[in-house]
Structure 1
Amino acid sequence: MTIGSYQLAGGKTLWYFVIDLPVGDDGKRRQYKRRGFRTDTEAEKAESEARKAYGEAAIGADGSVAAELAGWLSERELDVEETTLDNYRNLFRMYVNPQIGGRQLYAVDKRVIHEMYKTLLSTGARRGGPLSPTTVRTVHRVLMKAFQDLGINIEGVRQPRPAQRDNNGRKGVWSPQESKKFLKFHRDARMYAAWALAVVAGTRRGEVAGLRWSKVDLDQGIVYIHWQRTISGNKVVEKSPKGKSRRAIAIGPAMVQVLREHKARQDEEKAEAGLIYHDRDYVFCREDGEPYYPRYFTDMWEDACLAAGVPVIVLHDARHTSATAGADAGVPEHVMQKRLGHADARTTREVYTHVLPESERRAAELMDSALRDDAA
């Protein structure tokens, strides 16, 4: 360790520090230097923080942020789902590496990271506009996890504050009237059963895309969510849902009838297609039996909203609608948690259960009644 001072042209004295880092894979000596401190005390404090952050880290010969993060991703292939790992890669590729990927990892401190966050929040989107605070917070969480696994502890890094919502925390949620209008409009549509499952049972896109008839018990009124069809990068991945997302969902007589009618229509298509039909047991598939690309459901959903004349919400928001309808109807929280496949009840309570204006109005009327009774 070295702490010293130097003078600027005007005679002002500033301080610097130098620390030796572990020898790299190439056997060469490496050092980390920083300068510009106003006092020796500031230099000593910064030196102590840098030694704590990087002194024990096994940084490779390249030592760049991009290289070390790539190494971390390679290690995490052992214990992280492929789709999750692909999301991590995209976060680093799109947001972290363009900003600090070329820097030496041991030269990164909280100021560098904070500047990256501010840049992302102002011009980090693909077209140069602001990147959403939610995405920047995700970058923060994944980056800090990677640093932790690499043995790097940078103290004082602040997580960007969450976005302020203008909808009182509600996501896209339909009222019961809007849900009924949407489903009634599409009653004869080929995708009607898929939309009904999304709204009534709160199934995810991947769960709808990967559902097979062998996992649907129409006699007992149960849909088993044991498989999903999702996108990872540019390819489709089929796998079992993780954790409590693997579940059995009870469906009522109306939903059973919808699925029976859907199967009858599918059987007619199969008979008409004859030898060119590829029967792979998918509940929702093309006329030749081949499964849809998962994003097809997203695109068709938006068109379906517009056609029905209801507010356009994203397909995943059908889960919010389902959860909210259950909450308004008095379905216990633990039942909705299991039905939606959430590992944490807090997710059901704080993220997916939103109070609709109708519910707020009923609550206001009850409170107003109580005040009138009390006054009497």
Structure 2
Amino acid sequence: MAYFQKVPAKNKQGYKWKCTEDAPLHPVTGKRRQVTRRADSKKEAQQKVMAAIEEIKKKDRGEINTDLENITVKELFEKWFELIMKRKLKETTFKEYYNAANYRIIPVLGSIRVKDLNTIMLQKYINDLIDEGLSPRYIEYISTIFYGALETARKWKVIQTNPLIDVEKPRPRRIEYITWTLDEMNRFLHLTKLSNLRLFTIVSTATKTGLRRGEILSLKWSDVDFENKTICVERSLVYDKNGFRFTTPKTSSSNRVIKIGDSLIRDFKRWKTNQNEIKMVLRKSYEDHDLIFSTQTGKPIFPRSLTHDFNKAIKVAGVPKIRFHDLRHTHATICLEAGMSLKEVQDRLGHSSIKTTGDVYAHVTDAMKEKTVDLFEKYISK
């Protein structure tokens, strides 16, 4: 909206009116920009302002911003993280991107001007990562981050094309996830149930729902509908230098309601009885946050403490060593072996795309192969 002000008569140009109006925000910094022009009349002053704003828009669309012409790789990442990625990524993912850039990219290429980067220079950079012995998948991860920053530089008119497009990168091998069989899962649960009921219930939840660790540790009793046998997933536990806090799940599709079976319902009820007994013993010293899984005093569980307890229990149970996150893969694999569709597994895991689910679980287990053959034979034998 234009703002007009009458100019004192005694000015050198003899102008009588001043017009001020907001121009579009700066495309890189996001800062406010105002345009002011003077003229003999309100109308003329406003026309001058509008003409100046059009010139600014034209420059923003087609010219290299002089503030960015000599921007370095380090400065590009600083602006990219602050203006774009901080609002686009989940907090934990943002930190992973930030650490990878500051550890792997900026120390090597940070002082180079973005417009001086070329395909040969970046090919040598990728080759050096290969010679260092980094895994193809990690090199692809670093390249993806770098590509995203350079794409933003292209949009900001710093460069005309992204020099990483034509760089040859190692093809990552498909990850073979280690999962438990149904017998191994049951063995672990049976033995852990006798020694550590809280850990038993946590692992039972992971293997029977496919929830992520942060999602499990943030579950509240109010999230469980015992009558309709569902769990509402709407938060995740994060722990960093600022302490514990709850945040939204990894993606929008991670906000979900999943069905659970009678066995997990029984496990929850057994654990709730045990937890209530703990509350009675500790009374006032217990901090009740309605968390299903907490420390002895009701506080959130430190994620690494859970991992430590999980690894100890694996040794005792004598089952193959897997990561806690592999319980999620175990759940998905068992679901597919049981005949659940890929779409149903996608919904349970909270993947934003069925392609993600398909890529991760493209392998077909022996049990699934046998079941497919049996179904085919039964059909053609009718």
**CA gap 1:337/1:365 in 2 versus in 1, 3 angstroms:** closer
* 8 Å CA contact retained: 1:218, 1:260: no
Give the CA deviation at 1:234: 7.0
Alpha carbons of structure 1 residues 159 and 172: separation in structure 2 relative to 1, 3 Å = farther
Shift in Å, 1:117: 1.7
Give the counterpart letter for 2:152 in structure 1: D
TM-score by length of 1: 0.75
Aligned residues between the structures: 309
Offset, 1:73: 0.7
TM-superposed CA distance for 1:185, in Å, is: 1.6
Q: Does 1:223 align with 2:226?
A: no
Residue aligned with 1:78, SS? helix
Question: Do the aligned partners of 1:324 and 1:354 also contact (CA within 8 Å) in 2?
Answer: no
Q: Choose which of 146, 163, 167 in structure 2 pairs with 1:158.
A: 167
**Correspondence for 2:81:** 73
Secondary structure at the counterpart of residue 186 of structure 1: helix
- Asked if 1:95 corresponds to 2:95, the answer is no
* Residue of structure 1 in register with 2:212 after alignment: 204
Give the conservation status (yes or no) of the 8 Å contact 1:57–1:150. no
Deviations 1:231-275 (A, max 9, x none): 467754421222111111111111101001111111111111121
**1: distance between equivalents of 2:118 and 2:229?**
57
Superposition deviation, residue 311 in structure 1: 0.8
In the alignment, which residue of structure 1 is the partner of 2:332? 323
Q: Corresponding residue for 1:246?
A: 255
2: CA distance, partners of 1:99 / 1:234: 30
Deviations along 1:11-40, whole A, 9 cap, x unmatched? xxxxxxxxxxxxxx9xxxxxxxxxxxxxxx
Please give the alpha-carbon distance, in whole angstroms, between the structure 2 residues aligned to 1:258 and 1:353: 31
Tell me, yes or no, if structure 1 residue 141 matches structure 2 residue 124.
no
Displacement, 1:90? 0.8
The residue type equivalent to 1:174 in the other structure is W
Q: Secondary structure at the match of 2:238?
A: strand
Distance 1:154 1:227 in 2: 37
Alignment match, 2:52: none
SS in 2 for 1:191: helix
| 3-state secondary structure, aligned to 1:67 | helix
RMSD: 2.7
Contact 1:246/1:341, CA 8 A, preserved across alignment: yes
2:188 is equivalent to residue 182 of structure 1: yes
2:88 partner SS: coil
- What is the deviation of 1:132? 1.9
Structure 1: give runs of 5+ residues left out of the alignment. Answer: 1-24, 26-54, 124-129
Q: Can you list the C-alpha shifts for 1:120-149, whole angstroms capped at 9, x where unaligned?
A: 2332xxxxxx22211111111121111111
Q: Is the 8 A contact 2:178 2:326 kept in 1?
A: yes
Cα deviation, residue 338, structure 1: 0.9
| Matched position secondary structure for 1:164 | coil
| 1:218–1:256 CA contact under 8 A, matched in 2 | yes
Q: In the alignment, which residue of structure 2 is the partner of 1:82?
A: 91
Q: How far does residue 296 in structure 1 lie from its aligned partner after superposition?
A: 2.5
Tell me if structure 2 keeps the 8 A contact 1:228–1:238.
yes
Out of 176, 179, 198, which is 1:173 matched to? 179
Q: Aligned equivalents of 2:101 and 2:322: distance in 1?
A: 29
Distance in 2 (CA, whole Å) between partners of 1:288 and 1:315 is 24
Q: Identity percentage over the alignment? A: 26
Q: Note the C-alpha offset of 1:344.
A: 0.7
**CA distance in structure 2 between the aligned counterparts of 1:116 and 1:310, rounded to whole angstroms:** 42
How does the TM-score come out when normalised to structure 2?
A: 0.74
Question: 1: distance between equivalents of 2:80 and 2:66?
Answer: 12
The counterpart of 2:222, out of the listed 214, 224, 227, is 214
Residues 206 and 229, structure 1, Cα contact 8 Å, conserved in 2: yes
8 A contact 2:137–2:173 mirrored in 1: no
Give the 3-state SS of the residue equivalent to 2:257 in structure 1. strand
Does 2:294 correspond to 1:285? yes
Gaps (5+ residues) in structure 2?
Answer: 1-28, 30-62
Shift of 1:80: 3.2
Three-state SS of the structure 1 residue aligned to 2:207 is: helix
Partners of 2:137 and 2:293 in 1: how far apart? 32
Change (3 A) 1:132 1:353: same
Indicate which of 337, 357, 366 corresponds to 1:357.
366
Q: Is the 8 A contact 1:199 1:321 kept in 2?
A: yes
